[in-house]
Structure 1
Amino acid sequence: MPERNLDFGKFGARGIKGHEAVARQLDALAGYIATPITARRGLLARLHYLTRTDHARAAAREAGFTATPRTIRAWLAGTRSPSRANLAAIEQAYRAVRRENVARYLLARLNREGRGTRVEFHPLNQSQVTRSHQRAVEYRTLNVRHWDRIVAAWAADDDAALDTAWVDDAVVDLGSQWGQYEHVTHIGFAA
């Protein structure tokens, strides 16, 4: 793999790994609760999401949320407030359960019955790189038809698997220039 062993940013280039940009875009499509968990409304929304059904409670337990029903009732009633550690556990469990719940929907939306989704690759930022060290990279588009491994890795919150799936299922289709798009400023897709 041509670009994986280079020291990115050595000459001042800026950007993020492509799979991180894809994860951000999928997170945006997942539609998380916008109100922060530190606000009472955000806490209540997350607790209701995690405790609404037996399936949600089981998924929350599997994601590491182990508060007792009595404690949850006290939080919902407002008689007690969760600690910072509990707030972090609630947020982490909420994101894990939400990803699991929307993964199948996102997969169908991105695959579009085999037609795929158009992806935009915005190249890395070379404004701080001296002219002699800059390379020619341009805005590219590509139609990605196989999202199964990408969405599964995102839903499992497995960064290494997402990187591998993104490179193997999408980026290599850019041809011989795929290594230039390992780091990008943004990945966009209208799904």
Structure 2
Amino acid sequence: MPERNDEFGKYGARGIKGHEAVARQLDQLAGFIATPITARRGLVARLHYLTRTERSRRAAREAGLTVTDRTLKAWLEGKRSPSKRNLERIEAAYRAVRRRNVARYLLVRLNRDGRGTRVEFHPVNQSQVERPRQRVVEFRTLNVRHWDRVIEAWVRGDGAALDEAWVDDAVVDLGSQWGQFEYVSNIGFAA
């Protein structure tokens, strides 16, 4: 395999790491609450999601939301408002719990009993690169059959593990062109 890009963007190419595009697409598929947490409706929706069952309360505590039940009740009733720091903790806990809850569903949908899912690789934007330095990179599609490590790393929020899993389980199947898709403008797939 070729080495990874050390100086991406040196000549003006624009894009993001492939694993970041995958994480963004998985987040979109997870269906997070659209209303921002700063709105009362968004805050209450997240708190209900995190406190609905004892299992979700335990998961929220594991994800970093360690306030008392009395405080949670006051927030839900609107008697008190969480601080900015607690809003960040609520959002982080909500995203972690939501990822964990939808992971099994996404894994089944993406693996499709070994058939996999068609993934679109959109190449980097080279419009700012001088003509002699531009690479010939085209739109590619690939059927990714193994999503287990990718989903596992995404649930943990581990970028390094997600990058390794994405390259080892998906991008390497592009053959000798895999290095051209370490950075992309977008990666698209559906579940």
Describe the SS at the equivalent of 1:10: coil
Aligned-residue CA RMSD (Å): 0.7
Match of 2:160 in 1: 160
Amino acid at match of 2:64: G
Deviations 1:135-189 (A, max 9, x none): 0000000000000000000011000000000000000000001000000000001
Amino acid at match of 2:120: E
Alpha-carbon shift at residue 81 of structure 1 (Å): 0.4
Match of 2:151 in 1: 151
**Cα distance in 2 between the residues matched to 1:38 and 1:136:** 45
1:186 has 2:189 as partner? no
Give the TM-score of the pair, scaled to structure 2.
Answer: 0.99
Match of 1:36 in 2: 36
Describe the SS at the equivalent of 1:23: helix
**8 Å CA contact 2:29, 2:190 repeated in 1:** no
**Cα distance in 2 between the residues matched to 1:94 and 1:85:** 14
Match of 2:131 in 1: 131
Deviations 1:37-81 (A, max 9, x none): 000000000000000000000000000100100000000110100
Percent of aligned positions that are identical: 77
Matched ranges for 1:33-112 at <5 A? 33-112=33-112
Amino acid at match of 1:42: G
Ranges of 4+ aligned residues in structure 1 off by more than 6 Å: none
**Cα distance in 2 between the residues matched to 1:18 and 1:3:** 15
Give the TM-score of the pair, scaled to structure 1.
Answer: 0.99
Deviations 1:90-139 (A, max 9, x none): 00000000000000000000000110000000000000000010000000
Amino acid at match of 2:112: R
Match of 1:116 in 2: 116
**8 Å CA contact 1:150, 1:165 repeated in 2:** yes
Describe the SS at the equivalent of 1:121: strand
Structure 1: unaligned runs, 5 residues or longer: none
Describe the SS at the equivalent of 1:9: coil
Alpha-carbon shift at residue 190 of structure 1 (Å): 2.3
The size of the alignment, in residue pairs, is 191
**Cα distance in 2 between the residues matched to 1:29 and 1:91:** 17
Amino acid at match of 2:155: A
